[in-house]
């Protein structure tokens, strides 16, 4: 079993002028410094998923959208996901929910982490996202990054997140440590399950 985890870093908003790019740039320096995981950015702008309009859920029927099929296959490559998310009206952006609705197997039994930003650090959006993840048998990890309050205001006005101070470094490390633990645990459990089925 490979000791290196493959993590999908999902950019959850698609609007022009999004703050997500600033959060992503900062967080890439954190995940990129790890030697126990590699990552790939999955930008929902590039995924270009249509609004969900299928005859049935992907758990039961193959989706008809070519972009959605490609999205579902891409997700299967990863051992876990970290979503960079805003909070829209006390919940996750519709783009993120749509991305979850358009796949199934690629999400199953993998850890999910979050980098949230906004006035309250996307706290309510993160809680909603964790509930969605549980439906797929995912493990929403306890560690999370929350860029909120004065940090969000300063960063929105142009201060690089890296210059806000080192108080966000601890949560970033905790998040990545949790992803490493649960990512390896899930991989091992899947191998054991496959071996039992083959026996």
Higher per-residue pLDDT: 193 or 49: 49
For residue 42, give every residue at least 6 positions away whose Cβ sits within 8 Å of its Cβ, in sequence order, or none.
8, 9, 10, 11, 74, 81
pLDDT at residue 113 above 80?
yes
Asked if 147 contacts 167 with a C-beta cutoff of 8 angstroms, the reply is no
Residue 198: the pLDDT is 84
143, 177 in Cβ contact below 8 A?
yes
CATH for the 5-198 domain, from 3.30.300.210, 3.40.190.10, 3.40.50.360, 3.90.1150.10: 3.40.50.360
Extract the tokens encoding 141.
């990890």
pLDDT per position as a tens digit, 30-88 = 999 999 999 999 999 999 999 999 889 999 989 999 999 999 999 999 999 999 999 99
* pLDDT level of residue 2 (50, 70, 90 thresholds): low
Check whether 1 has a pLDDT greater than 60: no
Model confidence, pTM: 0.95
> How would residue 193 be classed by pLDDT, with cut points 50, 70 and 90?
confident
Give the pLDDT band (50/70/90) at residue 93: very high
Reply yes or no on whether the pLDDT at 122 is more than 90. yes
Token pair listed for 82: 């970290």
Nearest-10 Cα torsion for 99, 100, 105, 109: 130
The model's pLDDT over 133-173, given as tens digits with 9 standing for 90+, comes to 999 999 999 999 999 999 999 999 999 999 999 999 999 99
pLDDT of residue 199: 75
- Strand residue runs (E) in the chain: 5-11, 37-43, 80-85, 111-117, 139-140, 145-147
State the pLDDT at residue 197: 85
């Amino acid at each position: 079993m490979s000791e290196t985890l493959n993590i999908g870093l999902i950019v959850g908003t698609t609007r022009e002028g999004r703050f997500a790019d600033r959060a992503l740039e900062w967080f890439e320096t954190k995940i990129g410094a790890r030697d126990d995981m590699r990552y790939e950015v999955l930008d929902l702008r590039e995924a270009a998923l249509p609004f969900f309009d299928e005859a049935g859920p992907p758990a039961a029927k193959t989706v008809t959208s070519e972009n959605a099929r490609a999205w579902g296959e891409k997700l299967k490559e990863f051992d876990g996901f970290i979503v960079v998310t805003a909070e829209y009206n006390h919940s996750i952006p519709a783009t993120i929910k749509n991305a979850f609705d358009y796949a199934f197997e690629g999400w199953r039994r993998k850890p999910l982490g979050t980098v949230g930003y906004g006035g309250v650090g996307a706290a309510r959006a993160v809680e909603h996202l964790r509930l969605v993840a549980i439906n797929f048998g995912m493990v929403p990890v306890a560690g999370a990054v929350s860029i909120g309050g004065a940090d969000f205001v300063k960063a929105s006005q142009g201060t690089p997140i890296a210059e806000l101070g080192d108080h966000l470094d601890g949560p970033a490390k905790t998040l990545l440590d949790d992803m490493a633990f649960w990512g390896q645990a899930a991989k091992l459990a899947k191998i054991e399950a496959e071996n039992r089925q083959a026996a």
